[in-house]
Amino acid sequence: MTDSLFSLQGKTALITGASSGIGLHIAGVYARAGAHVVLAARRTDRVDEAAAALRAAGHAASGIHLDVTRGDTIAAAFDAAEQAAGAPVDILYNNSGVIYTKPFMEQEEAEIARVFDTNLKGAMLVAQEAARRMAARRSGIIINIASTAGLRAGGTLSSYCASKAGLIHLTHVMALELAGKGIRVNAICPGNIETDMQQSLKDFEQALVKRTPMRRFGRPDDLDGVSLLLASDAGRYITGAAIPVDGGQALTWM
């Protein structure tokens, strides 16, 4: 019974930002849970390679190109995902993100634009396309990958914090509007997770670890449980949640 609750057998999951880090890791988690995973990113060579590795391990996986900042290409990317999987997208793992660490007064306009275009505008456009298709079937799941930085302020992270706070509030609005259409929408708010993106915070690593009650950074596999919960029948009555996965770090900012 427990295993079947968390099963994704027969589902199609589209994962953005899947060329590295959390997205790449969760693609493997969802594939092992039975989903056909479609890995999407700008770096097509990486998602193709990752998909091939999953297929070699006996899982269903495909790779497609997707730049979330190019709104005019998103519908075509969903078409490609559905063609590759041979089925509509049931689960969107909305994961693309970028970060700049600079004092507020030093952030350049181009940097601010890139963060918001990827983390908030891009996430919204991808979610809109997913929601339109899911609403037609009155079934679907959207998981937005936000951040603990969207819940509490962090120095030198002004554009990142603001974009992720916006994504969390967008999640609430989406959940409210889409519940009646059979679509659940939730956000995961990771803390400091050991990925390529985390390298930009290397100078602050020791200070961040000291501010984390569990006294360590997270690993991508620390997100496995919540990612499966929200994507599966185990989470069928959860919508509009923003769940921190941060070793208690947000508690130190209260």
Q: Which residues contact 1 (CB under 8 A, 6 or more apart)?
A: none
Give the mean model confidence (pLDDT) for residues 154-183: 97
User: Would the CA dihedral through 213, 219, 224, 226 be positive or negative?
Assistant: positive
Tell which residue, 17, 38, 19, 34, has the closest CA to residue 81. 38
Distance (Å, rounded) from C-alpha 235 to C-alpha 217?
26
Give the pLDDT mean for 147-160. 93
Predicted local confidence at residue 198, as pLDDT: 56
Looking at residues 27-46, what average pLDDT do you find?
Answer: 98
Domains of the chain in start order, with CATH, are 2-244 (3.40.50.720)
112-148 pLDDT, tens digit per residue, is 999 999 999 999 999 999 999 999 999 999 999 999 9
pLDDT at residue 19 greater than cutoff 90: yes
Residue 236's pLDDT band (cuts 50, 70, 90): very high
How many C-beta neighbours within 10 Å does residue 159 have? 21
pLDDT in tens, 43-92: 999 999 999 999 999 999 999 999 999 999 999 999 999 999 999 999 99
132 versus 194: the higher-pLDDT residue is 132
Phi, psi of 188 (to 5 degrees): -105, 135
- In angstroms, the first-to-last Cα distance of the chain is 39
Q: What is the DSSP letter of 79?
A: H
Neighbour order of strands in the sheet with 183-190:
61-65, 36-41, 12-16, 91-94, 140-145, 183-190, 242-245
Q: What is the pLDDT of residue 252?
A: 77
Count CA atoms within 13 Å of residue 167 on its CB side: 39
The catalytic residues are 160
Does 235 have pLDDT greater than 90?
yes
Residue position matching structure tokens 């181009």: 110
**Cβ atoms of residues 88 and 135 within 8 Å:** no
Give the DSSP H/E element, type plus range, for residue 186.
strand 183-190
